Structure 1
């Protein structure tokens, strides 16, 4: 399947940096590579991260990872941010060294307000990392970028805990939380082919009823709603970034027939696939 997303910038070597107003990405699923950091310096707006709408404003740090869909929704005219983006391979080399409890926190709080002192330190971190990305060509420079990201994540983890952002829940370390995370891993790999809850429950060796109860406990939504959200994102990606016909998109995503996919898309979004394609290409 074509995994194309809207690119606001084309990554080169081991990272890219620059300034953005995100305007070109409004309403589109943006490719943020392996990991992208946005330091918002002006304006305000609303973005969707992992299907949740969140407010962003000057003084915020937004931490985006490639497994969470990112869509700018509404931004003020004066919105401005600096970005640093690294490819998946480099990001993965950094992620595995950071405690999993940090990601439990960050996935719930990807938009982080900063104090003036924290923002000042972030500004210097961005300047330093930007200089390395744009002026160093050695393999050692790649190591420095990776280490800079690791050190920043450790500092963010420390600051989140110091300021009182607590872990998701005590049961995050038990089997329920592991099943929840395993479900997301399976979903990211197989949602284009398997749209039914039973498939994922069988893979997890639990009953569909147990999976429903688990999801309501953590997310207060059903696993079927989450599957549908992933499928909708995949349809939107193909509609806005390819010229595939509706028939071919339905085949790519293993719908029984194109009319069924069209009805599903309209029920979820309020418009037909072709209406959506026209709206994002204007």
Structure 2
């Protein structure tokens, strides 16, 4: 692994398209809201990675697709944890995915990872795709590089679309009604958490009662209630803004629909045990 695989996040995670082999430790111990998306394949070791409020266990032969605008954090990783991955900009994804419609990306948002069987055809094909991503990423001076990136990403999504329909369709069949509602709740939460913190709002969007939403949450995630999930998503966003921006507490309060910065501070301290300013100083000192 080269020295620049782990720091310098802004250098390659903000490129239109890039390939790396890395251990993801640039995402350790903090939450990062990414403008780009990425696809990865775990080649060794294991890790716990959160996407939004959900924790995913990554082991060898896990394929993970993270769409743009996601918030992620590496919770833990073994010393030998390593992945192959390529990143792509939101604009590049939008341009290449127009012909596929929304169904694939709704599926990927709800089911971002798949565990491949060792030495299976799908895994071999995925490694070939990663080889191609490395090739395209290395083409910096080719006058057709933008077309190469477009064609690669479009082919990757078309390949996924076919496999989601023909190989992963059983996942849809095994989803219970409660599981389906749970994923819908996650999608609605990701869209509205900045403005809506009332459980009744999300239950109403799903056409169910708050009590039933609580039951769904308890059965499908390690959270006691939907309110706990709403608070967790909001705290993640506050932490991200404290670390990644220089926004004042008042600006953060306004963005996240708090009455004022004092209310924001009390809310944050009740969940994290320290004030927002103390958290900002501590996390920037550690990094």
Question: TM-score scaled to structure 1, two decimals?
Answer: 0.76
Pairing 1:145–2:152 present: yes
Asked whether the equivalents of residues 32 and 85 of structure 1 are also in contact (C-alpha less than 8 Å), the reply is no
Are the aligned partners of 1:61 and 1:114 in contact in 2 as well (CA < 8 Å)? no
C-alpha distance in structure 2 between counterparts of 1:150 and 1:39, whole Å: 15
Q: Output the CA distance in 1 between the equivalents of 2:209 and 2:25.
A: 44
Kept in 2, the 8 Å contact 1:40–1:58? The answer is: yes
- Aligned residue among 34, 37, 40 for 1:35: 37
Task: State the secondary structure of the residue aligned to 2:15.
Answer: coil
Structure 2 residue 232 is matched with structure 1 residue 226: no
Is the contact made by 2:182 and 2:217 (CA closer than 8 Å) also made in structure 1? no
Q: 1:207, 1:241 → 2: CA distance?
A: 37
Per-residue CA deviation, residues 158-180 of structure 1 (Å, 9 max, x unaligned), is 4434xx545453648xxx95897
Question: In 2 relative to 1, CA 11–251 (structure 1 residues): closer, same or farther, beyond 3 Å?
Answer: closer
| Offset, 1:205 | 7.8
Find the partner of 1:194 among 193, 196, 199: 196
Retained in 2: the 8 A contact 1:265–1:271?
yes
- Pairwise CA distance, 1:143: 3.4
Q: Deviations over 1:197-238 (max 9, x none)?
A: 455567778876676677668767644333322211220111
Corresponding position: 1:60 with 2:62 = yes
Distance 2:182 2:109 in 1: 19
Alignment partner of 1:160 out of 168, 192, 197: 168
Distance in 1 between the 2:193 and 2:208 partners? 18
Equivalences, count: 270
For residue 32 of structure 2, give the secondary structure of its aligned residue in structure 1. coil
Measure, in 2, the Cα distance between the counterparts of 1:57 and 1:210.
34
Tell me if structure 1 keeps the 8 A contact 2:65–2:108. no
For structure 1, the residue ranges without an aligned partner over 5 or more in a row are: 1-5
Distance 2:119 2:36 in 1: 28
**Equivalent position of 2:5 in the other structure:** none
Match of 1:121 in 2: 125
Partner of 1:269: 272
The root-mean-square deviation of aligned C-alpha atoms, in Å, is 3.6
Q: 1:67 to 1:171 in 2, by over 3 A?
A: farther
- Compared with structure 1, are the counterparts of its residues 167 and 31 closer, same or farther at alpha carbon in structure 2 (3 Å cutoff)? farther
Say whether the 8 Å CA contact 2:67–2:109 is kept in structure 1: no
Following TM superposition, by how much is the alpha carbon of 1:22 offset from its aligned partner in structure 2, in angstroms?
A: 1.3
Deviation at 1:37, TM superposition (A): 0.7
Alpha-carbon contact 1:34-1:85 (below 8 Å) kept? yes
Q: TM-score, with normalisation over the residues of structure 2?
A: 0.75
Q: What does the per-residue CA deviation read over 1:13-46, in whole Å, with 9 as the maximum and x for residues that have no partner? A: 4x11122221122022234444201122222221
- Quote the residue 1:3 is aligned against: none
Decide which of 134, 137, 141 is 2:138's aligned counterpart: 134
Higher relative contact order (CA 8 A, sep 6+): 1
Question: What is the distance in 2 between the residues matched to 1:95 and 1:228?
Answer: 34
